[in-house]
A and B are shown apart, each in its own frame.
Chain A
Amino acid sequence: MTEALSLSGVNALYGDSHVLHEVSFSLSAGRVLALLGRNGAGKTTCMNAIIGFLPPRDGRISLFGEPIARLSPEAISRRGIGLVPQGRRIFPTLTVRENLVVARQLRPGTARPWTLERVSELFPRLQERQQQPAGSLSGGEQQMLAIGRALMGNPRVLLMDEPSEGLAPRIVAEVGQTIARLKKEGLSIVLVEQNIKLAFGLADDVVMLNTGRVAFSGGVDALRNDEATLTQHLGVF
């Protein structure tokens, strides 16, 4: 299986505070990897290291074999990583349409590239609100916009950081269906989630972080009924 994204021996620090310790995992092409862990476990820090917000002190990160660990976020984005960040971070003063247009990137060799039309078809509700400032959208709509914006870059790997956070159950289900559809289209996805049910429903593989270290890494089926491991690292069930 082709490795879409792989981290090996990644250490990341905020100033003096050492947050990621020797983190290694890899995402196979076309699969969904759920990255789980308690609050403060280092999941977002992992995303920050991959997208280039927090370049790792050492270790390697590669995208389809190409090293990306020392590149700027814009260069990493142009190599093909899309980010749906925690807290959505849409551009609030831009219109919905502008949020999508500024993120447009064409990647030669993409079979069915994402366009304004396809994103609008994926999220009809955004289509209706095209000319509205994005800051005026509801939380669920902002989440859809954040996903749509990432897709406009035609990413080869999509990072999603807690896409269900703070959303009503009905909207969470909708976001789940969207992710399932993206997976079916063959996109490789890293899904950070606190919603274990959602994550288990979508993931092929699971990586669990505990205080910045990889505590578990394996297939989702092995973990599904392993309450001991789940309780130890997530504190659920």
Chain B
Amino acid sequence: MQFWIIQTLNSLALGGLLFLLSAGFSLIFGLMRIANLTHGALFMLGAYVGVTILRVVPDLWLAALLGGLLVAAFGGLLERFILRALAGNALGQVLVTLGVAFIIADFCLIVWGGDPIPVPTPEYLRRPLIVAGVAFPTYRLVVIGIAIVTAIVLHLLMERTRLGAMIRAGVDDMQMARAVGIPVSRLFTIVFCLGSALAGAGGIIGGPILSAYPGLDFEMLPLALIIVILGGVGSLVGAFVGSFIIGFIYTFGSALLPDLAYVILFLPMIFVIAFRPRGLFGRLGT
């Protein structure tokens, strides 16, 4: 019983972290039509930056905020000065994001070394929550809560504001969006900063669960890819549902059938690509 409850909570918490990662990945993919392959590296960079910030300000949430802002600034610079110069060259842009991902990985290795760095769980969240004799890990519950709140805020931003409608207009028909005066290139920067901030903050918030270690980047990136293909490019609801599906598959797959973890992960993606190329909630064909 405890096994199933713990694994379920682990799945949900991982799903929540994956949502922080893949929401931005999906929006960037939907609007700019590029798979941002630095996204996993931004997550890892967030985790490492968080480690350093925590040495100065010992508050995880403040560290997540500051780290998120720093990673957002980095993402914004990457978009404005490198990706924009390659506008219209999608392959070039994707390759650049891959190159930057490797550079970030080396940078992290030099600065923070090769050993995993644990991120301490905040003191007040260490005691498990006991309900009806079952112990629930409190921090994981908080992570799930953060993911849900973030999803609601992002949903309201996308569906209830003019900015969100402009972004969706760009996803629908970028050229026409420009022709009605929507400042599409500014939207690119905004979406890229937002996606980077979420990934960076996700890395720090995920720290107490995953810790910071070399290789975290390319462990997360394929998951984001699978989620976005599963959920549908540019769809927040898709990213949300996809994140939790993958959270469950990954957690239970590794626990029950560790040898087949990747088969179990990629199989649903292959089925979706074959039978529903727009993803479960997507509007774009990819």
Contact = CB atoms under 8 A, between A and B. Distances in A.
B178 interface: yes
Contact of A91 (B172, B178, B181, B185): B172
13 contacts: A74-B181, A74-B185, A76-B179, A85-B179, A89-B173, A91-B172, A91-B173, A91-B177, A94-B172, A98-B165, A102-B162, A102-B166, A102-B169
A77 interface: yes
Interface string B159-201: 0001001101101110111111111110000000000000000
A149 interface: yes
Interface of A: 51-53, 72-74, 76-78, 82-83, 85, 89, 91-94, 98-99, 101-103, 105, 149-150, 152-153
Given A89-B173, A92-B172, A93-B172, A51 B179 contact: yes
Nearest to B175: A53
Contact of A150 (B172, B177, B180): B180
Contacts of A76: 179
Given A101-B162, A102-B162, A91 B168 contact: yes
Interface residues of B, number: 20
A54 to B, nearest CB: 10
Contacts, number: 66
Nearest to B166: A102
A174 to B, nearest CB: 23
B164 to A, nearest CB: 9
A150 to B, nearest CB: 7
Identify which of A74, A76, A94, A102 gathers the most chain B CB atoms within 10 Å of its CB: A102
A74 B178 contact: yes
A91 B184 CA distance: 15
Contacts of B176: 85, 89, 91
Contacts of B169: 91, 94, 98-99, 102
A105 B178 contact: no
A94 B165 contact: yes
B276 interface: no
Contacts of B184: 74
B157 to A, nearest CB: 14
Contacts of B162: 101-102
Contacts of A72: 178
A78 B173 CA distance: 18
B172 A103 contact: no
A51 B179 CA distance: 7
A103 B180 contact: yes
Contact of B179 (A83, A98, A99, A152): A83
A93 B180 contact: no
A73 B179 contact: yes
Contact of A74 (B168, B171, B183, B283): B183
A74 B185 CA distance: 9
